[in-house]
Copies of this chain bind each other. A is one copy, B any other.
């Protein structure tokens, strides 16, 4: 089966305690696509500028990713610069240049109409909803958002949340969206806004999936997956989008949509996030094998499973 991701393709300048890089390929849709490409056929809808050339395109084509939905616009691609200090949990943004991304109006190629899985990366909620409404064959929609939209466009976001199956956000975003400081209570409030399931990403502590009652089968509890304790996090950029790529990509590779599949998907999300941070940019995500991924999946299992 195939999955469509709608989101940003960008060029990043990144500084971390491990070094710095300039002008490397980044963006949510980029990290997502590369991570998901190890599980399923990936299609992209994004916009880039004239600085996006054959070199960048090759990164996607090498992984068999369908880039026909990447629109070329006049001007420069989205650019972002960020610095991580010793506390790698948060980046200080050095600059953001939206460039061609500012007027991004997602256009879905006719060839993508049969796509069964959809991931709405972090863009303006109304654009997310528009894309979802155009995709009639979709069986499951994943969605990301951020503080900016939660605070600035709450009504638009509420409309989008009614259209998505799984929302993937972090602890802070969950609490802000729910207006509630207790995380399990906040999760219940977010589920009442629309999604069938909520994935809360805890950074270095892993992630928890909460299910709406009766959604994806029967079950009493949420489910928690770990991350790998990593000695050297080189560059946390894209960890969340890589997580989403592993999570959604694995789901799209399965026939059934039940809780066990979503639980295993949560592990694969953690696995892809853990690879992403091992190198600057998408380097590690470009050179993986399914064997290496499944080996690390086993490590995640050993990390959490009793005999």
A interface residue numbers (CB < 8 A to B): 86-87, 181-185, 187, 202, 204-206, 208, 210, 220-226, 229-233, 260, 263-264, 267, 299, 301-307
Contact = CB atoms under 8 A, between A and B. Distances in A.
Contact of A222 (B181, B229, B264, B307): B229
Contact of A304 (B182, B230, B299, B305): B305
Given A220-B299, A221-B299, 11 more contacts: A86-B181, A182-B233, A221-B303, A222-B229, A222-B303, A223-B302, A223-B303, A301-B306, A304-B304, A304-B305, A305-B306
Contacts of A231: 182, 184-185
Contacts of A305: 304-306
Most buried by B among A202, A210, A229: A229
Contacts of A87: 181
Contacts of A304: 223-225, 304-305
Nearest to A267: B306
A-B pairs, 8 with minimum CB distance = A205-B205, A184-B229, A86-B181, A224-B226, A304-B304, A184-B231, A260-B307, A305-B305
A273 to B, nearest CB: 15
A161 to B, nearest CB: 21
A211 to B, nearest CB: 12
Contacts of A302: 220-221, 223
